[in-house]
């Protein structure tokens, strides 16, 4: 099992992906009109696992992702930076 520490609107939590997930990717977008990150776990013989509503992924877990979380120069996720500036 792969676990990632993520920040959601109500604070930091852990999301888990089963061992059969070969790769976890991050993408930006909107869910219910709100800017957020989505993590997608790809499996060879099963449906994708999708975690939505994420504002940031702990930088120490970045090596578990296929691509990088978009960040500002100070290391804040672009999504979180955008929401804090509103």
Residue 45: which of 21, 26, 24, 18 has the closest Cα?
21
Helix (H) or strand (E) holding 16: strand 11-17
Q: What is the pLDDT of residues 15-42, one digit of tens each?
A: 999 988 989 999 887 777 778 899 999 9
- Please give the Cα distance from 14 to 69 (Å, whole number): 16
- Which residues are CB-neighbours of 82 under 8 A, at least 6 positions away? 35
Q: What is the pLDDT of residues 50-81, one digit of tens each?
A: 998 899 999 999 899 999 898 999 888 988 88
């Amino acid at each position: 099992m792969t676990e990632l520490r993520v920040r959601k609107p109500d604070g930091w939590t852990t999301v888990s992906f089963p061992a059969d997930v070969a790769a976890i990717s991050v993408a930006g977008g909107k869910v219910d009109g709100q800017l957020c990150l989505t993590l997608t776990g790809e499996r060879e013989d099963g449906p994708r696992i999708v975690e939505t509503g994420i504002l940031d992924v702990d930088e120490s877990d970045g090596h578990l992702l296929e691509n990088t979380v978009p960040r500002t120069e100070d290391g804040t996720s672009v999504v979180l930076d955008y929401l804090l500036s509103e």
